[in-house]
């Protein structure tokens, strides 16, 4: 007997357009504004490649500012992804919108985690298929690099203070408060500060960093 087709788990990627001076500003002293934007663009592409290769379900790139944008349009012509505009509001509003737009389970990710692999996405999707209400990959800085839900959970996103080192702890508290079944995968790391570049140099991004150093 043929095995059943796995339940689709959508992937929502939140991304800002790679405009110099508007993204990765904390990396500007090390890379310059153009270099930081170039790295941001490459991180977006790498995230899209990984999401599409994982093939857990449909992939949507939630972009800011709203399309059309030449960079995002080019990505959508190369990869089987949809484009959607991020709504106004804080990060919680934008992530909840991505969850509500999905017709079933969904994984929401950003573009700052070069360590995110196919295995991570498969394991997170399988956790939702197995009945977890929430799946999370914590970040070393106290936030998270992935959150997934079987159905929208407004209580996990509303009135949260974002960008601080207590986000993951507060998320755990809210998961318990709402009686949700959760699964946490091993902690990962993201690229946001100059000190993160040394670790990034141990990945496939080393060549890009060398290139930026030569042209910066």
Residue 132 lies in a domain: yes
Q: What is the pLDDT of residue 14?
A: 98
Residue 15 lies in a domain: yes
Q: What is the pLDDT of residue 212?
A: 80
For the chain, what is the mean pLDDT?
95
Q: What is the pLDDT of residues 70-87, one digit of tens each?
A: 999 999 999 999 999 999
**DSSP letter string, 138-157:** EBTTSSEEEEEESS--GGGT
CATH of the domain at 111: 3.90.550.10
Residue 204 lies in a domain: no
Statement: residue 19 has pLDDT above 60: yes
SS3 of residue 57 by DSSP: coil
Number of Cβ atoms within 10 Å of the Cβ of 9: 25
Please state, in angstroms and as integers, the Cα–Cα distance from residue 54 to each residue in 51, 124, 172, 189, following that order. Answer: 5, 11, 27, 20
* Secondary structure letter of residue 188 according to DSSP: B
Q: What is the pLDDT of residue 216?
A: 57
Q: Token pair 């060398």 is at which residue? A: 210
Are the C-beta atoms of 41 and 49 separated by less than 8 Å? Answer: no
Cβ-count burial of 63 within 10 angstroms (0-12 exposed, 13-18 middle, 19+ buried)? buried
Residue 4 lies in a domain: no
Cβ-count burial of 40 within 10 angstroms (0-12 exposed, 13-18 middle, 19+ buried)? buried
Are the C-beta atoms of 27 and 8 separated by less than 8 Å? Answer: no
Token readout for 116 is 């995110």
Statement: residue 2 has pLDDT above 80: no
Statement: residue 193 has pLDDT above 60: yes
Q: What is the pLDDT of residue 3?
A: 63
Residue 187 lies in a domain: yes
Q: What is the pLDDT of residue 146?
A: 99
What is the percent of the chain with per-residue pLDDT over 90, rounded to a whole number? 89
Are the C-beta atoms of 146 and 207 separated by less than 8 Å? Answer: no
Statement: residue 122 has pLDDT above 70: yes
* Spatial distance between the Cα atoms of 23 and 16, rounded to a whole number of angstroms: 7
Average pLDDT, integer, range 129-158: 98
Overall number of domains in the chain? 1
Residue 101 lies in a domain: yes
Residue 60 lies in a domain: yes
Instruction: Assign 100 a pLDDT band (cuts: 50, 70, 90).
Output: very high
Residue 3 lies in a domain: no
**H-helix or E-strand containing 63?**
strand 59-64
Describe the crossing of helices 28-54 and 70-78 by its angle, rounded to 10 degrees.
30
What residue numbers bound the domain in which 166 lies?
10-196
Statement: residue 215 has pLDDT above 70: no
Q: What is the pLDDT of residues 35-80, one digit of tens each?
A: 999 999 999 999 999 999 999 999 999 999 988 899 999 999 999 9
């Amino acid at each position: 007997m043929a095995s059943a087709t796995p339940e689709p788990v959508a992937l929502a990627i939140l991304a800002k357009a790679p405009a110099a001076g508007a993204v990765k500003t904390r990396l500007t002293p090390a890379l310059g504004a153009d270099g930081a934007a170039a790295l941001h663009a490459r991180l977006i592409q790498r995230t899209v490649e990984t999401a599409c290769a994982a093939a857990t379900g449909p992939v949507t790139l939630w972009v800011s500012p709203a399309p059309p944008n030449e960079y995002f349009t080019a990505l959508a012509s190369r990869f089987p992804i949809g484009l959607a505009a991020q709504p106004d509001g804080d990060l919680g509003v934008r992530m909840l919108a991505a969850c509500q737009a999905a017709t079933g389970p969904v994984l929401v990710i950003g573009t700052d985690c070069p360590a995110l692999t196919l295995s991570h996405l498969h394991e997170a999707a399988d956790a939702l298929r197995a009945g977890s209400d929430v799946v999370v990959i914590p970040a070393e800085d106290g936030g998270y690099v992935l959150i997934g839900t079987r159905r929208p959970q407004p209580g996990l996103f509303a009135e949260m203070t974002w960008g601080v080192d207590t986000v993951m702890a507060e998320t755990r508290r809210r998961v318990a408060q709402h009686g949700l079944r959760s699964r946490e995968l091993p902690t990962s790391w993201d690229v946001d500060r100059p000190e993160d570049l040394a670790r990034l140099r141990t990945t496939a991004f080393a060549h890009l960093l060398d290139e930026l150093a030569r042209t910066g």
